[in-house]
Amino acid sequence: MLGDIQDNKGRGEAAWQWPSIHPEGRKFGLIAAVICLVAALFAWETIAWPMAGLTLCILAFFRDPVRVVPQGGGLIIAPADGLVSLIREVEPPRELQVEDGSGSPRLGSAPVTRISIFMSVFDVHINRAPIGGTVRRVVYIPGKFLNADLDKASEENERQHLLIEAADGTVIGFTQIAGLVARRILPFVKPGDIIAAGQRIGLIRFGSRVDVYLPAGTDAKVILGQKIVAGEPILGELGQQQQLEGLPL
């Protein structure tokens, strides 16, 4: 029966099903649906049909599909759906470098590999933790709303930095960045929370970007232009360095 345990040995049953809608999106979907219903009751078709389409779009935007998170030590999991738009050697954000008075770990100032994942309005916008561990920092920075696909969006746009410390002391920093259409970053976690790899940690409404800072000595296991989803692809493996190239098929 669908809902029973499923595994790589063939147990369980598989069937397509509608993904669930995150609670954050249900209220917006309900508002649009009520407006659509009222317009339909008064035969205001010029309003009813567009609102029906908007209701479906809202529900699709806030969809929250189940993901199968890879298990294993040293794995850094993709935190967002979207396109790998930038892979650069950069200095980590200052907010994740400086001492914040709590005595919590921080990132160094040495350049590391940053992987930027651009989310369009058609992608799932639930963000997930790249590693399991303890949330050490959640730092919100107000800013502009430039195109999130631009490199300078990492430093100028509204953004939220997060720092997670794994049980072995590994520290991973990543940043949620608002874009042209995105106007609100919603966190689901706070400093001190203990989370699992692939756990939902927040969302950004209506198109945006997530930057992940790989630890020194770790190369990206994705390539520029690759389409990925949150919670499943492996962005990197601690201490592993390898040159990857994409081949056109």
Q: Which residue has the tokens 């040159």?
A: 243
Beta bridge mates, 173: 163, 213
Beta bridge mates, 244: none
Which residue from 100, 228, 95 is spatially nearest to 173, judged by alpha carbons? 95
Q: Which residue has the tokens 């809902």?
A: 3
In whole angstroms, give the CA distance from residue 136 to residue 164. Answer: 6
Active site amino acids: 208
| E strand spans, 166-240 | 171-178, 185-187, 194-195, 200-204, 208-213, 227-228, 234-237
Centroid of chain to Cα 189 = 13
The two three-digit tokens of residue 176, written as one number: 């949620």
In whole angstroms, give the CA distance from residue 201 to residue 161. Answer: 12
Which residue from 146, 144, 77, 142 is spatially nearest to 115, judged by alpha carbons? 77
